[in-house]
Homo-oligomer: A and B are copies of this chain.
Amino acid sequence: MPFSFRRLILGSPLRSERAGHERLPILLALPIFASDALSSVAYATDAILTQLQALQVRQDLYRIALPISIGIIMLIGMVVVSYWQVIFAYPEGGGSYVVARRNLGLRFGLIAASSLLVDYVLTVAVSVADGISQSFSALHQFHNLGEKLEPYRVLICVAIVLLITLANLRGVRESGALFAGPSYGFIVLIFILIAFGVYRHLVEGHPLQSVAMAQDPLAAKPLNLWVLMKGFASGCAALTGIEAVSNGVQAFKKPEARNASLTLGILGCILAVMFIGITYLATVFQIRPSEHDTVVAQIARASFGTQGTLGILFYAVQIFTTLILLLAANTAFAGFPRLASILAEDGFLPRQLAALGDRLAFNNGILVLAALAIGFLVAFKGVSQALLPLYTVGVFIAFTSAQAGMVRKSWALPTKPWLSLGVNFAGALVTLVVLGVVVSGKFWVQRELFGLSWLHEGAWMSLALMWAIYLLFKAIGTHYKHVEDQLAEIPVGFEHTLKHTVIVLVPSRIHRGIITALNYARSISPDAIAVHIAFDPSKEARLREAWEEHGGETTLIILHSPYRTLIDPLMQYLDAADRVRKDDIITVILPEFVPARWWHNFLHNAHGWLLRIRLYYRRDVIITSVRYYLDR
């Protein structure tokens, strides 16, 4: 079993028939699609607070965070309604790529696709990084274990990505059973947290922790529209993952579109409540954001404490927040390879990305995603808040292009559906404006963020990456088109009367294997020619003698090679043969020698490989390998 190690890691191969989708009721579908969207609750409030941290008057922060959140919730509502239209228009599963490509043309389709691919990568990076932050926040209680593990943050992030990769290579399916526990657990716990926190605030009536002013009064900024805008742009991280439902309509039980839209609505409501609740508690408890102690962890600590029966709830919140973040990362491992395979089928990515592996997973896509995500985690030292500015850009490009595609689609209909047209138009416009805000507000990020002083870059990096991917799509598309054009003309009719020129390359000594090759050559063409390339003239006589005895009627041609290379004399001979026998098809027969053990190859000359490579690039010859096997 040569592949036994592979089998051990990946499991036995699966038959193609098992690729079919399971159809899920809403109750099991919701947790699958919820993880990506809801997990953003874990970092969106952090993002707003982090962005506004440098405000001159600290109370301003807690005053404007809630209005910003309300604005974002309105945006969520708008996006949800817009995507309802998408679901009904493309019940077979219309991702932004499909919608934009069909309605706005290839260019916008590819733009949407590139932003989605970058987004999937960042989903993995951000979710894993934030999951680690959530765990470290909980581990604070245990002898500062969180801080002790801090130096290994990147290493742990990478290890987790590799584990998720392995699980996906084995073909972890998006099963409702796997997702239900963590998703519902997370939802329930966050609701309990919000209820408890609100109760505690109302009863005790004062912030549980006192808050110091911004560390650096000199860097402090006044509150103005620009700051407000940047805060809003940061909070838009809450919208990541909402579009997932529209990609997976086919995962729902019939009627798919209705069930999917219902799920999306429920999801939007839960998300809105959670996000507003967390942000509200963050302002009343005057939480200070930190990568080492997340907002969720601080609120949970303030609400439940860390001791006694209620303390268990603190740990539960942290565990389930971490779990849902890892599940969100896992969904990207389904989404990225699926989208990449569609793009590969359409000829914009290498074909290999469309090939299903042994376990019915798109192995190549999974590996590419893992490599890119690890790259981001290493470059950004596993700090989720440093990765977020890059993240939101892609989401909104996808939103805008999907909505704009819907507008175009509705507009093209003979009887225009004015309501949905209006909804999608508003959606497209608003998401475009927000995209502008996000890009302009986060194009450059402040120089110093969690000690990553070299990171004076932000959204431009995602844009550059998307642009590069877009160009890659175009280049690959052009190549495949060229190939297509070249392969398309198929000559009609057959030539049954090919004339053969067959050349057998023989070494200085004639043996069994050579005789086999000669027999084969003569069976194709009775006037096959044997060619020997001589380095050492002293061996020539012996070869001629052997040929007398064993060569039969086949002509032996000896080519001298003063520079001791097989290649040049043979090439010259083939050139000559080409000229003399213009209409013939030339077959070069290489008698090859297969030793009994692989290491025996070291004991035999390796000329064969060089020759083979040179012949490979010669258009006019057919290469036939006749092997001779050794038994020991």
| A429 within 8 Å of B (CB atoms) | no
Find out whether the CB atom of A603 lies under 8 angstroms from the CB atom of B512. Answer: no
Q: How many copies does the complex hold?
A: 2
| A606 within 8 Å of B (CB atoms) | yes
Q: Contact string, A583-607, partner B, CB cutoff 8 A, digits 1/0?
A: 0010100000011000010111110
| A623 within 8 Å of B (CB atoms) | yes
| A487 within 8 Å of B (CB atoms) | yes
Question: In the complex, A523→B524 CA distance in Å?
Answer: 8
Knowing A479-B603, A603-B480 touch, does A523 contact B500 (C-beta < 8 A)?
yes
Separation in Å of the A13 CB from the closest CB of chain B? 4
Question: In the complex, A524→B495 CA distance in Å?
Answer: 12
Find out whether the CB atom of A515 lies under 8 angstroms from the CB atom of B535. Answer: no
Find out whether the CB atom of A494 lies under 8 angstroms from the CB atom of B16. Answer: no
Question: Which of A47-55, A347-355, A377-385 is the interface stretch?
Answer: A347-355
Q: Which residue of B lies closest to A596 (CB)?
A: B482
Separation in Å of the A351 CB from the closest CB of chain B? 6
Q: Contact string, A480-514, partner B, CB cutoff 8 A, digits 1/0?
A: 10110011111100111110100000000111110
Find out whether the CB atom of A624 lies under 8 angstroms from the CB atom of B622. Answer: yes
Taking CB atoms, residues of chain B closer than 8 Å to A486 are 512, 630-632
Separation in Å of the A205 CB from the closest CB of chain B? 65
| A619 within 8 Å of B (CB atoms) | yes
| A142 within 8 Å of B (CB atoms) | no
The answer, among B494, B512, B518, B616, for a CB contact under 8 Å with A627, is: B616
Q: Contact string, A415-440, partner B, CB cutoff 8 A, digits 1/0?
A: 00000000000000000000000000
Taking CB atoms, residues of chain B closer than 8 Å to A563 are 13-16, 358
| Interface-centre pick from A563, A603, A605, A622 (highest chain B CB count, 10 A) | A603
Separation in Å of the A545 CB from the closest CB of chain B? 13
| A542 within 8 Å of B (CB atoms) | no
Taking CB atoms, residues of chain B closer than 8 Å to A522 are 494, 496
Question: In the complex, A486→B594 CA distance in Å?
Answer: 12
Find out whether the CB atom of A630 lies under 8 angstroms from the CB atom of B16. Answer: no
Taking CB atoms, residues of chain B closer than 8 Å to A357 are 564
Knowing A496-B522, A616-B627 touch, does A515 contact B491 (C-beta < 8 A)?
yes
The answer, among B512, B524, B630, for a CB contact under 8 Å with A482, is: B630
Find out whether the CB atom of A494 lies under 8 angstroms from the CB atom of B518. Answer: yes
Question: In the complex, A243→B564 CA distance in Å?
Answer: 32
Given A358-B564, A622-B627, 11 further pairs, Cβ under 8 A: A16-B562, A352-B605, A356-B535, A487-B513, A489-B512, A490-B512, A491-B512, A496-B522, A498-B519, A616-B625, A624-B625
Contact sample, A vs B, 16 pairs, CB 8 Å cutoff? A15-B563, A16-B562, A356-B535, A358-B563, A358-B564, A482-B632, A486-B631, A486-B632, A487-B512, A490-B515, A497-B523, A520-B585, A594-B617, A622-B626, A622-B627, A623-B625
Top 7 nearest A-B pairs by Cβ distance?
Answer: A487-B511, A498-B523, A15-B562, A624-B624, A13-B563, A350-B603, A623-B625
